[in-house]
């Protein structure tokens, strides 16, 4: 009897262990993200995980005890991967579509007995539907991002990003559109427009948008260099080539533009005898230094600018026609500020912000002050606007700039923006601004050296200006 009792006890323990093991297996199956299905060696379904119903839309009670072949016929599996394992006698991985139309990736692995015969088959199913939907959404998002990026780049190319060029007028937008089209090509560009409209700024914009943007940008104001020095400044000279020439010679400004952009501002002021040499440089891309005989190859993109009517100058034989045609490959006209008054407000906003940061101020304009700025015709264009704003920001009392702080030339201008004779002039306004800057710098620095450093001028010039304005 004792032996029988022990056997019964062992059986109970074994059954209990099996039940505990089965519960543990169920817990593990439920914890696994993938859906799991187990069959015997004939394809009869023995066990499924709880996630089976959510994946296949069929409850556990309905499918247990049936075969995968029956389920395949009912369209639950399309096709049945376990049927393929039983047929091929090896592990299989494949894409599958269930009766709910969900995309699945399934792997089925045979479990063999000691004789190598398939005893069970275990399949793991991963629902790819959400993943594929996300992939499609991601692809669609990528396409949208590419589209938006292209649109943003296009918008950015239409918005001026170089410092100092600000404008909302259609005429300025057209200038920028033209620059965006031609900047990457090495064609000669001629900027025309009155003084102060920003021809140098736009030339830099062309350079920065070009394939030569990493090279130098050399600006030469042809009107600022005396005629007798202009040739040696442009072309350079060999040592001892003329009285006063340096012992080592000098490289010319044209050579310094190697690999970059050469800007000839006020090109109309170049003497006729020198225009022929400029034409040869443009045609042959070679120069010969003053007093030298060796030709030097130069590679640059040419931008010219003038505030004069070039066609009229050529008609009067004051400018070589062949040189004008060389320069006039792409001509861009920059209109005066009086013809694009919608640019005044954004320009004022830009300069106010610029000088507030530069001088650590917190100033703004009274609405009446802005009205007077909008009424004025600005014969000095953007340069005059910038200079006057800098002056009034430095000389006005308080943080709100009233119209009384404006120069008389603006205050007494009529509704057409024109000032009566004797009301003032640009030179006086510029002199007043210069005086204000000198006084401000001297009060802060206390020495001519400090003034020179602050205003980036030479010390002798600083001493002379201090004597003039600090009486």
The pLDDT tens digits of the residues spanning 71-124 come to 888 877 778 888 888 888 888 888 877 767 777 788 888 888 888 888 888 888
Q: What is the mean pLDDT of residues 384-400?
A: 92
Neighbours of 379 (CB within 10 A): 18
Task: For residue 65, name the pLDDT band (cuts at 50, 70, 90).
Answer: confident
Residues 6+ apart with CB under 8 A from 368: 402, 403
Whether the per-residue pLDDT at 6 is higher than 90: the answer is no
pLDDT, greater one: 185 or 292: 185
pLDDT, greater one: 3 or 227: 227
Task: For residue 155, name the pLDDT band (cuts at 50, 70, 90).
Answer: very low
Q: What is the mean pLDDT of residues 388-393?
A: 94
Task: For residue 156, name the pLDDT band (cuts at 50, 70, 90).
Answer: very low
Give the pLDDT confidence score for residue 8 in this predicted structure.
59
Task: For residue 31, name the pLDDT band (cuts at 50, 70, 90).
Answer: low
Interval 162-175: pLDDT, tens: 555 788 889 998 99
Whether the per-residue pLDDT at 159 is higher than 60: the answer is no
- Average pLDDT over all residues of the chain: 81
Task: For residue 283, name the pLDDT band (cuts at 50, 70, 90).
Answer: very high
Q: Are 58 and 52 in contact (CB under 8 A)?
A: yes
Q: What is the mean pLDDT of residues 265-269?
A: 93
DSSP-derived secondary structure for 370-389: HHHHHHS--TTHHHHHHHHH
> In whole angstroms, how far apart are CA 451 and each of 345, 454, 455, 458, 459?
32, 5, 6, 9, 8
Whether the per-residue pLDDT at 395 is higher than 60: the answer is yes
Give the pLDDT confidence score for residue 246 in this predicted structure.
57
Whether the per-residue pLDDT at 423 is higher than 80: the answer is no
Give the pLDDT confidence score for residue 469 in this predicted structure.
75
Neighbours of 233 (CB within 10 A): 17
Look at the block and give the residue holding tokens 């093991």. 21
Give the pLDDT confidence score for residue 24 in this predicted structure.
58
Whether the per-residue pLDDT at 464 is higher than 80: the answer is no
Give the pLDDT confidence score for residue 434 in this predicted structure.
81
Give the pLDDT confidence score for residue 306 in this predicted structure.
95
This prediction's pTM: 0.56
Give the pLDDT confidence score for residue 329 in this predicted structure.
93
Task: For residue 250, name the pLDDT band (cuts at 50, 70, 90).
Answer: confident
**Domains in the chain, start-ordered, CATH in brackets?**
32-127 (3.30.450.20), 180-335 (3.40.50.300), 340-469 (1.10.8.60)
Q: What is the mean pLDDT of residues 338-365?
A: 92
Give the pLDDT confidence score for residue 463 in this predicted structure.
75
Whether the per-residue pLDDT at 187 is higher than 90: the answer is yes
Nearest one of 164, 82, 65 to 118, comparing CA atoms? 82
Spatial separation of the C-alpha atoms in residues 394 and 388, rounded to whole Å = 10
Interval 192-227: pLDDT, tens: 999 899 999 999 999 999 999 999 999 999 888 888
Helix, strand, or coil here: 39? strand
Whether the per-residue pLDDT at 422 is higher than 60: the answer is no
Interval 439-462: pLDDT, tens: 888 877 778 778 888 888 877 777
Q: What is the mean pLDDT of residues 288-294?
A: 87
Give the pLDDT confidence score for residue 354 in this predicted structure.
92
Whether the per-residue pLDDT at 152 is higher than 50: the answer is no
Q: Are 119 and 100 in contact (CB under 8 A)?
A: no
């Amino acid at each position: 009897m004792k032996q029988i009792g022990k056997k019964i006890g062992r059986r109970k323990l074994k059954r209990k262990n099996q039940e505990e093991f089965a519960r543990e297996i169920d817990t593990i199956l439920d914890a696994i993200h993938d859906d799991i299905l187990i069959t015997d060696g004939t394809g009869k379904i023995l066990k499924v995980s709880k996630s089976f119903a959510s994946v296949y839309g069929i409850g556990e009670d309905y499918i247990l005890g049936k075969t995968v072949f029956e389920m395949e016929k009912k369209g639950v599996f399309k096709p049945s991967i376990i049927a393929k394992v039983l047929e091929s006698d090896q592990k299989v991985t494949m894409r599958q579509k269930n009766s709910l139309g969900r995309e699945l990736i399934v792997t089925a692995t045979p479990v063999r007995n000691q004789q190598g015969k398939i005893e069970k088959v275990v399949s793991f199913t991963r629902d790819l539907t959400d993943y594929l939907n996300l992939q499609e959404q991601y692809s669609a998002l990528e396409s949208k991002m590419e589209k938006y990026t292209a649109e943003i780049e296009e918008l950015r190319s239409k918005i001026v990003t170089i410092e100092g060029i600000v404008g909302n007028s259609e005429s300025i937008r057209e200038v920028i559109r033209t620059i965006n089209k031609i900047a990457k090509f090495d064609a000669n560009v001629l900027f025309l427009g009155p003084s102060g409209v920003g021809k140098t700024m736009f030339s830099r914009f062309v350079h920065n948008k070009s394939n030569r943007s990493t090279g130098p940008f050399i600006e030469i104001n042809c009107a600022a260099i005396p005629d007798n020095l202009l040739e040696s400044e442009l072309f350079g000279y060999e040592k001892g080539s003329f009285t006063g020439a340096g012992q080592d010679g000098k490289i010319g400004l044209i050579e310094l533009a190697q690999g970059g952009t050469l800007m000839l501002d006020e090109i109309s002021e170049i003497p006729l005898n020198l225009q022929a040499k400029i034409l040869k440089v443009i045609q042959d891309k070679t120069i010969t230094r003053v007093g030298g005989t060796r030709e030097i190859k130069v590679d640059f993109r040419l931008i010219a600018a003038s505030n004069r009517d070039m066609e009229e100058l050529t008609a009067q034989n004051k400018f070589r026609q062949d040189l004008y045609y060389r320069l006039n490959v792409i001509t861009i006209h920059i209109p005066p500020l009086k013809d694009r008054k919608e640019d005044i407000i954004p320009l004022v906003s830009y300069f106010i912000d610029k000088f507030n940061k530069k001088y650590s101020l917190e100033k703004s304009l009274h609405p009446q002050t802005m009205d007077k700025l909008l009424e004025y015709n600005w014969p000095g264009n953007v340069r005059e606007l910038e200079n006057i704003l800098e002056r009034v920001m430095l000389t006005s009392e308080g943080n709100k700039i009233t119209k009384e702080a404006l120069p008389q030339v603006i205050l007494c201008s009529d509704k057409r923006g024109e000032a009566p004779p004797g009301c003032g002039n640009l030179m006086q306004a510029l002199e007043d601004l210069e005086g204000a800057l000198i006084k401000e710098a001297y009060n802060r620095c206390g020495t001519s050296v400090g003034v020179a450093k602050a205003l980036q001028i030479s010390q002798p010039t600083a001493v002379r200006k201090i004597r003039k304005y600090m009486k």
